[in-house]
Structure 1
Amino acid sequence: MQVGYAVTGDGGCIARARHHAADFLTRLKDEHGLSVAPRAIDLTQLVVSELVTNARKYASGPVLMELRISGTTVVVAVWDSDPTVPTARATDPDRIGQHGLEIVEGVTQSLAVQRQTVGKRITARIALTDAPGAGATARDLP
């Protein structure tokens, strides 16, 4: 179960990306009986919003988003043409903005950044259920 989207650069592209993510999970839940907690839909939309916002902000070229189910997780992958690998900044409660990667790291099971031949791919895994042990613990993708 996988879908992909090209994210266009107009003003509503981030909202559309969030909508695609919620629709993907809702369809899998309703049409295929997949166990998806409401929290998983909310967190997936948050992760999509942060990753797509950063890609649109820092990359000059196209942005591609892929959503897929892998076991008990939803995998969100965002590719952009900028080869710069982002890093979360040190925690600073006085800093305004630039907390996106910190947020994504805090709500996902894992987060990985891979340089590609062109650009980079950021991949995050989010638990589909609120089951014990499904929280944000692992930090690397297999």
Structure 2
Amino acid sequence: MASWGPAGAGRSMPVEPPAAAVEFDGDVGCIAAARHHAARFLDRVRAERGIEVSDRALDLTQLVVSEVVTNACKYAPGPFGLDLRITGGLIEISVRDSDPVLPVARAAEPSRVGQHGLEIVLAVTETFEARREGTGKRVTARVALADTGTAGYAAGRSPGARPATSAPGAQ
């Protein structure tokens, strides 16, 4: 949703929220590239828009990007897209890929090695959703830009063995 700002001569023009989109080819090197892209995006938001972004939000954004992009590279062959957008005090991180299978958080299992990425994402984000889109899916996670202490487990949310939240109407 656009907000309205000054445009001179008594007119107001919509001010679009900061956003960025980039496509990656899906090779292993794109994980670090996506993480750096997200960090540069938040640096620009701070510098150009004067939006407060805590150091914790910067770190968590890079962690979440790394986890969801790793999953796209691991489970969805080929290119994928990364969309970043600032909305309502949050950074919205969306990854579009070619795999229609929605992610499922697994129950905690101390002896399991690996496959904890979604558990981590659910623990540090304000919201998470996954939905089918075209022949693939889109996963979207939102991280608070300010240090609120309300994300994931701090808000009493536990990933357990439940599926990640799907958008209404997603099958």
Report the TM-score range of the alignment, normalised by the length of the smaller protein.
over 0.9
In the alignment, does 2:24 pair up with 1:7? yes
Gapped regions of structure 1 (runs ≥ 5)? none
In the alignment, does 2:96 pair up with 1:82? no
Within 5 A, what are the aligned runs for 1:38-53?
38-53=55-70
Larger Rg belongs to: 2
Shift of 1:138: 9.1
Of the three residues 119, 141, 152, the one matched with 1:102 is 119
In the alignment, does 2:69 pair up with 1:63? no
The number of aligned residues is: 141
Residues 1:135 and 1:85: Cα distance change in structure 2 (over 3 Å): closer
Shift of 1:55: 0.5
CA RMSD across the alignment: 1.9
Of the three residues 8, 17, 38, the one matched with 1:21 is 38
Shift of 1:8: 1.9
Residues 1:138 and 1:64: Cα distance change in structure 2 (over 3 Å): farther
Residues 1:90 and 1:80: Cα distance change in structure 2 (over 3 Å): same
TM-score by length of 1: 0.92
Distance across 1 between alignment mates of 2:127 and 2:61: 13
Distance across 2 between alignment mates of 1:86 and 1:116: 14
TM-score by length of 2: 0.77
Residue 124 of structure 1 is matched in structure 2 by 141
Residue 135 of structure 1 is matched in structure 2 by 151
Alignment check: 8 A CA contact 1:110 1:138 kept = no
Give the residue type in structure 2 aligned to 1:45: Q
Which structure would you say has the larger RCO, counting Cα contacts within 8 Å and 6 or more residues apart? Answer: 1
Distance across 2 between alignment mates of 1:138 and 1:44: 20
Alignment check: 8 A CA contact 1:109 1:138 kept = no
Distance across 2 between alignment mates of 1:99 and 1:68: 25
Query: What SS does the corresponding residue of 2:128 show, helix, strand or coil?
Result: strand
Residue 7 of structure 2 is matched in structure 1 by none
Distance across 1 between alignment mates of 2:31 and 2:52: 26
In the alignment, does 2:91 pair up with 1:91? no
Give the residue type in structure 2 aligned to 1:40: A
Distance across 1 between alignment mates of 2:156 and 2:81: 25
Query: What SS does the corresponding residue of 2:142 show, helix, strand or coil?
Result: strand
